Structure 1
């Protein structure tokens, strides 16, 4: 199948497929005489695996490790368990950070309980103040809450 069909079958944008190939997560496919990529069912299966891992917010490095185990079915999966345990700890920390962010945003929202002219908007006023460490509204973001660029 060509890249467009693989994209359709897996629900993955073409550019993301190419990105995964560049990152070494997806093997480079064979090419036709016209230099078109030709993908096999194994590519679709692997891409579906990668997409499932990404839906669980796993990093590309975590996925690489899991793929190594997937490619070596006789290997002991103890390290897979360890990886998942570490990922669970990471997710729990992000949840805590996001809860702090939620409280900060709610506190910020309370600064302007009703619509008024922008010159007297409590939210805009508060966002204009220098961030104070330890203040309820830090004016910043929670580090690690966004995880960088996602593909």
Structure 2
């Protein structure tokens, strides 16, 4: 059995992270000492490591909670878990597309200024200013 500091150390996370995951129902203390310290077992270490791997893959806590719920019922069909991963993959693909678009916009901005220009004539600043003005005009209410 481990107190919270040892659990955090074994799982490679902070005590605050352990407390947060416990508050979200991701892990549970198995018992308490006479001094009312929480005690955790090896299952809590495994659960934290599992959560860390999921978080490294960008899986959100709500989905992790669902996965853990399914994991607690090993006789269930695993299609729901597959569905969660497929939905996450679609989200990742969308983010990749958005980042690629962002990269192209930044490349275009980066090449806008001549090498010997001044800040006063900086095309990057002028283009960014035009975008800002356009954003303001779109957000004005009639």
Q: CA deviation at 1:112?
A: 4.0
Distance 1:7 1:81 in 2: 29
Distance 1:16 1:116 in 2: 49
**TM-score, length-normalised on structure 1?**
0.76
Deviation string, structure 1 residues 26-60 (Cα, Å, up to 9, x no partner): 12442222222211100000111111111111111
Q: CA deviation at 1:121?
A: 4.3
Q: Secondary structure at the match of 1:129?
A: helix
Counterpart in the other structure of 1:56: 57
Does 1 or 2 have the higher relative contact order (CA < 8 Å, sep 6+)?
A: 1
**Which is greater in Rg?**
2
Counterpart in the other structure of 2:4: 3
**TM-score, length-normalised on structure 2?**
0.80
Distance 2:36 2:118 in 1: 60
Q: Secondary structure at the match of 1:76?
A: coil
Q: Secondary structure at the match of 2:21?
A: helix
Deviation string, structure 1 residues 93-133 (Cα, Å, up to 9, x no partner): 11111111111222222234658765554434433333447
Closer, same or farther in 2 for the Cα pair 1:123/1:17, shift >3 Å? farther
Distance 1:114 1:34 in 2: 69
Distance 2:39 2:114 in 1: 58
Matches within 5 A, 1:2-21: 2-21=3-22
Deviation string, structure 1 residues 2-37 (Cα, Å, up to 9, x no partner): 212111111112111111111111124422222222
Backbone CA RMSD of aligned residues = 2.2
Deviates most, 36-45 or 110-119:
110-119
Aligned length in residues = 133
Q: Secondary structure at the match of 1:130?
A: helix
Counterpart in the other structure of 1:99: 100
Q: Secondary structure at the match of 1:73?
A: coil
